[in-house]
Chains A and B, each alone.
Chain A
Amino acid sequence: MTDRVRPHPAEEAFREELLGVLPHLRAFARGLSGRPDFADDLVQEALIKAWTARERYTPGTNMRAWTFAILRNHYLSELRKSRRQTDLDESTVERMLVMEADQESPLHLGDMENALQKLAPERREAVLLVGASGFSYEEAADIAGCPIGTMKSRVARARADLNRLLEGDPDLVVPKPNPHG
């Protein structure tokens, strides 16, 4: 191709759409990871991946859902990588995330954030997508790559967990991450 030096209208439009979803990507990443710096790193990586894959995006479709899926897949691969490197099991990684969130969270909604970080990762993702970000169950299931029934059940379990955590039940047993969803 010879027209790379000229601004490409389709690329400019894509860039604008990316810019538009950026605040939501940051909020989703922050909710998933509980760590502001790590979250922004995730968003940067997701932006680069989205850009590289831009020819697979149909303009005017759901940019938010498309980029959320890219971000969560990247997040999961980073989590797996960190588990391999340190030989930690998933619940230990989760405890680390909770501790770090406790130490450096700049948010005033501390109780809410702490409770969110205590959820099993797939439930946290589910309640973020449906309860915070406003996706339908169907969209959320597409983003997470699971059947819609699985997504509904994850959201229901996340809500039950949050009810218990935020109704102040001190004996709540934090559910172990379930690899089967």
Chain B
Amino acid sequence: MPPEARTHAPAEGEPGWATGLRKLYNSVVDEPLPDSFRDLLKKLDGSDDD
């Protein structure tokens, strides 16, 4: 088991890795958004799809 998964007590009846899985997922959610995504969103407009 990864050490990070042991740092939080799992919810009752839940294996320790379940916390690790959420931490893994949330570690990406919490990453700063690369500029490329904001640039892409800005470029999307109504003229790209007739």
The interface of chain A, by Cβ under 8 A from chain B, is 1, 4, 8, 11, 15, 18-19, 22-24, 26-28, 30-31, 40, 43-44, 47-48, 51-52, 107-113, 115-116, 127-128, 131-133, 159, 162-163, 166
Contacting residues, chain B, for A28 (C-beta < 8 A): 25
Once the chains bind, are B17 and A8 in contact (CB under 8 Å)? Answer: no
Main secondary structure of the interface of A (DSSP, over half): helix
Is there contact, CB below 8 Å, between B33 and A22? yes
Q: Could you say which residues of chain B place their CB within 8 Å of the CB of A24?
A: 29
B41 at the interface (CB under 8 A from A): yes
Residue among A23, A31, A51 making CB contact with B30, cutoff 8 Å: A23
Query: Which 5 residue pairs are nearest across A and B when measured between Cβ atoms?
Result: A132-B25, A27-B28, A112-B20, A111-B2, A23-B29
| A96 nearest CB across to chain B (Å) | 20
Q: Within 8 Å of chain A (Cβ to Cβ): is B45? A: yes
Q: Which of B1-50 contact A (CB under 8 A)?
A: 1-2, 4-5, 15-18, 20-31, 33-34, 36-38, 40-41, 44-49
CB within 8 A of A109: which of B23, B36, B46, B48?
B23
Given A22-B37, A163-B17, A166-B1, residue A109 in contact with residue B44 (CB < 8 A): no
Question: What residues of chain A lie closer than 8 Å to B15, measured between beta carbons?
Answer: 159, 162-163, 166
A4-B47, A8-B46, A112-B5 are known contacts. Are A26 and B31 too (CB-CB below 8 A)?
yes
The residues of B that contact A18 with a CB separation of less than 8 Å are 41
| B22: chain A residues within 8 A (beta carbon) | 131-132
Contact B31 A23 (CB under 8 A): yes
**Choice from A19, A43, A133, A162 contacting B25 with Cβ under 8 Å:** A133
Known: A44-B37, A44-B40, A132-B22. A4 touches B45 (CB 8 A): yes
